Amino acid sequence: MSPGATRPGPGPGDPGPTRPIGVFDSGLGGLTVLRSIIDLLPDEPLLYFGDTGRFPYGPKPHDEVRRYALEIADLLVARDAKLLVVACNSATAVALDVLRDRLAIPVLGVIEPGLTAAARATRTGRVGVIGTVGTIASGAYQRAADALAGPIDLTCAACPGFVEFVESGDVHSDQVHVLAERLLAPVRAAEVDTLVLGCTHYPLLARTIGDVMGPDVVLISSADETAFSVRALVEAHGLAAPAGAPTRHGFVTSGDTATFRALGTRFLGPEVDAVEAWSWT
Ligand code: DGL
């Protein structure tokens, strides 16, 4: 199948605003961002790619994740995406700059929006960030924090294993809780008052993470902030979809379509109906 084989919205030659917003992640996590975009911008057609066949991205070498991000971006652009949302911290951390350099459409990541929200929320200035091994090792959050106007004291912790639990549909078990107790120990010890969920899969574990961190710690998901940034970008570029037009979303996965549909419906909602299979070979 060629990258341009099907598309959820109108075809080439249609005016920009009616084209879909492309959104991708290594799997289901980016659906947390998609939910926020749908809620804020109900008229926008969205095309989601979940690279479930190649997840997790977190433990993989940065070059490999960068290559995956470029491949997916090419696919979404070939299907007329008018804007690209990298709904994956691991890919944002290592590929955002190269995607912006190479693509002719606006590209948005999830790191800066989430950290900006945390900087607004914190009272003590002590902010935690949890993410995949790749995201934390990249130093991308520390660089983004250094670029902020006010100083914040950042404590970062990698949480290997969280993504695998989410992709298996297990978000509440005792095993997840035990793992969370262990992995969140550094941010608890740092007495952060705000915790950035620096992986788009983690909002699906918010109940467990919230239980472990306690009620006084504010959990920040980048999803809502990213949706606000998407709205600002489509408006700034004159790409906002016309109000009231029928909206259809597309879902493509490189993994098992039935699993994606079942878990996607559970995590996102009824919008996940037909799921198209994609093969990289
Ligand atoms: N959801 C992604 C992120 O935000 C990727 C997780 C993974 O595949 O390791 O980092």
Question: Does one domain contain both 103 and 158?
Answer: no
Q: How far apart are CA 37 and CA 25, in angstroms?
A: 15
Handedness of CA 122, 127, 133, 139 (dihedral sign): positive
Phi-psi region of 158 (alpha: psi -120 to 50; beta: other; left: phi over 0): beta
User: Within a domain: residue 7?
Assistant: no
Question: Does one domain contain both 43 and 63?
Answer: yes
The best mutation among 92, 136, 163 to test binding of ligand 1, ranked by most ligand atoms within 8 Å of the C-beta, falls on: 163
The Cα angle at residue 172 between residues 136 and 206, in degrees rounded to 5:
45
What is the total count of domains within the chain? Answer: 2
Question: Does one domain contain both 115 and 194?
Answer: yes
Which atom number of ligand 1 is nearest to the Cα of residue 135?
10
Provide the token pair at 127. 């902010």
User: Within a domain: residue 257?
Assistant: yes
Question: Does one domain contain both 32 and 135?
Answer: no
| Domain closes at, from 207, 222, 237 | 222
* Confidence label for 3 from pLDDT (cuts 50, 70 and 90): very low
| Domain closes at, from 222, 239, 260 | 222
For ligand 1, the distance from its centroid to the CA atom of residue 238, given in whole angstroms, is 31
The most confident of 59-63, 147-151, 241-245, 266-270, by mean pLDDT? 59-63
User: Within a domain: residue 213?
Assistant: yes
Mean pLDDT of 183-208: 97
* Confidence label for 278 from pLDDT (cuts 50, 70 and 90): very high
Decide if pLDDT at 9 tops 70. Answer: no
Q: How far apart are CA 196 and CA 23, in angstroms?
A: 21
User: Within a domain: residue 11?
Assistant: no
For ligand 1, the distance from its centroid to the CA atom of residue 241, given in whole angstroms, is 29
| Domain closes at, from 194, 222, 250 | 222
Q: Whose CA is nearest to atom 8 of ligand 1?
A: 56
Question: Does one domain contain both 106 and 242?
Answer: yes
69 touches 274 (CB < 8 A) = no
Give the residue numbers spanning the domain of 257: 16-110+224-277
Instruction: Give Cα separations from 217 to 35, 74, 123, 128, 209 (angstroms).
Output: 23, 39, 11, 10, 10
User: Within a domain: residue 8?
Assistant: no
User: Within a domain: residue 4?
Assistant: no
Mean pLDDT of 260-264: 94
Rounding to the nearest 10 degrees, give the CA dihedral for residues 115, 116, 122, 125.
70
User: Within a domain: residue 269?
Assistant: yes
Task: Supply the CATH number for residue 51's domain.
Answer: 3.40.50.1860
Which atom number of ligand 1 is nearest to the Cα of residue 58?
9
The Cα angle at residue 64 between residues 230 and 268, in degrees rounded to 5:
40
Dump pLDDT digits (tens) for 169-190.
Answer: 999 999 999 999 999 999 999 9
pTM above 0.75, yes or no: yes
Question: Does one domain contain both 82 and 145?
Answer: no
37 touches 113 (CB < 8 A) = no
Kindly list the catalytic residues: 88, 199
Question: Does one domain contain both 236 and 102?
Answer: yes
The rounded percent of the chain whose pLDDT value lies above 90 is 86
User: Within a domain: residue 92?
Assistant: yes
Question: Does one domain contain both 176 and 97?
Answer: no
160 touches 59 (CB < 8 A) = yes
Flag the least confident range among 34-38, 144-148, 193-197, 231-235.
Answer: 144-148
For ligand 1, the distance from its centroid to the CA atom of residue 55, given in whole angstroms, is 8
- For residue 42, whether the previous peptide bond is cis, meaning omega lies within 30 degrees of 0, is no
Question: Does one domain contain both 130 and 214?
Answer: yes
pLDDT at res. 4: 40
How are strands ordered across the β-sheet holding 83-86? 107-108, 83-86, 21-25, 46-50, 250-253, 276-277
Question: Does one domain contain both 21 and 37?
Answer: yes
* Confidence label for 15 from pLDDT (cuts 50, 70 and 90): low
Decide if pLDDT at 12 tops 80. Answer: no
For ligand 1, the distance from its centroid to the CA atom of residue 134, given in whole angstroms, is 9
Dump pLDDT digits (tens) for 49-64.
Answer: 999 999 999 999 999 9
Going by C-alpha positions, the residue among 138, 140, 136 that lies closest to residue 156 is 136
DSSP assignment letter at 45: -
The residues lining ligand 1, judged by C-beta closer than 6 Å to any ligand atom, are: 25-26, 29, 55-58, 88-90, 132, 135, 163, 199-201
Q: What is the mean pLDDT of the chain?
A: 92
